[in-house]
Amino acid sequence: MSHYQCDVLIIGSGAAGLTLALQLADHAQVTVLSKGPLTEGSTYYAQGGIAAVFDENDSIESHVEDTLVAGAGLCDLAAVEFTTGHAKESLQWLIDIGVGFDRVDDGQFHLNQEGGHSHRRILHAADATGRAVQTTLVEQTKLHPNITIIERVNAVDLITNKHLGGDRHCYGAYIWNRVTQQVETVAARFVALCTGGASKVYQYTSNPDVASGDGIAMAWRAGCRVANMEFNQFHPTCLFHPNAQSFLLTEALRGEGAYLRRPDGSRFMPDFHPAAELAPRDVVARAIDYEMKRLGADCMFLDISHKPKAFIQEHFPNIYDKCLSLGIDISREPMPVVPAAHYTCGGVKTDLQARTDIANLYAIGEVAYTGLHGANRMASNSLLECLVFARSAAKDIIEQLHDKPLRTDLPAWDESQVNDSDEEVIIQHNWHELRLFMWDYVGIVRTDKRLQRALRRIELLQQEIHDYYSNFKVSNNLLELRNLVQVAELIVRSAMERKESRGLHYNLDHPDLLPEAQPTILAPAQQKPS
């Protein structure tokens, strides 16, 4: 029998998961799983803001066009129009529940402009928008009696027809409780994956530790298609400092006039793109990578010191304080920066209601491929996607809620054949090896040979990890490693299928664009239950 029962199980507690929970809570019993504390996720660390048309000189058509251009010909037009068309109402909902976006003296919202946007349309809360959104969502969910939050649990696998027979349905999930160190079951009428992306597959990332591709890997094992996994966005500007790994320097810095400079102080972005520092992220990341390799430099520099100190402290207080704590006064000197893996543009294939290939299973946010981002995500469209598709999924679930039976006869987790591990060093070694060769071989610039080398190493690691998983009790590191190596395989196989360079995927052996842009879609073969 199941340990937990609910109408809707939401795996993940960021903007997508908590928005879905709040939209459903008046109609259903909702359980939200959080791998760590509620504030530990990519949403909390998002700095820049959320894109929506609030300026009378702007238009939804312009937002659509900018998104399509940034997506390098691979965006799904219906998904772009759907998202931008529902942007303002989604932001208004956040405002109504208490998110305090910055305003100017006349009470209007202060709108930033970021790379790829032709207008100022970024609502923000100083330079800590994600924190404002996440803390407000957490406060609201804790107040609602129909929402149960379980922290410090890892989702292990989805429970589907593979376990119970019959049609392609999802009935719940196995979860590993870090407190009890036991695998438990959750039965649910509907399951939503809101687990974020997979940037932890790379050695250098702006993401928190929880971004290990869990939802993508679980959906793939359950039988869902994935799409566009080769498009990994590398944020151009992460702070290069030994005591501040993963600290992001928001795109809004460049939107407010910051320059990218070589170590000698000269600017280089005008050499690469007419929009210079406001070029799309893939262009800026490749330019920094190119200049670092050309000069043999450890980093480039982001400089906003030509702006008044009061302006910097008002618009970027958290970045100013963080850098100052590390001995960098950004009002007087530039910030050392390097690119880092930031956003997974592909994911589990879904429709406009966030439905996957498996009945009762939804995927929302960075875990999903909706078609919005194409070959490159435009700045500040990510939290927007979470909000829009969570609201859309909620409507779809509410319409079906009373038609779906709750199955509680879920098979118990069998660990009768496994032992406690005495070789944790194997997990650590494989973990570091995977992330390092993904960075070296499947990073900002790729070649066919690098991809082939990466795939060979992935296949060896998969066998080792499978043997380990089959013989020892699960742990957080083992579960994440199992998921990361699966996601790594999907990234590499997708990259090998794309015989061109487009957006975030740049292959020296295929530098040109193909005449027709098509998404890369991978479909799993029928697999036995693990």
**520 residue type, one letter:** T
How far apart CA 296 and CA 314 sit, in angstroms, is 35
CA distances from 513 to 77, 201, 203, 247, 492 (A): 20, 27, 28, 33, 19
Question: Which of 89, 96, 91 is closest to 129 using CA atoms?
Answer: 91
**47 residue type, one letter:** Q
How far apart CA 281 and CA 299 sit, in angstroms, is 17
**343 residue type, one letter:** Y
Residue entry with tokens 């800026």: 284
Q: Tell me if residue 332 is catalytic.
A: no
Catalytic residue among 121, 281, 377, 450: 281
CA distances from 308 to 251, 256, 304, 315 (A): 19, 12, 9, 11
Pair 202, 439: CB distance under 8 Å: yes
How far apart CA 504 and CA 179 sit, in angstroms, is 40
Two tokens, residue 442: 């499947």
Radius of gyration of the chain (CA): 22
Question: Which of 112, 116, 108, 123 is closest to 64 using CA atoms?
Answer: 116
Which residues are the active-site residues?
281
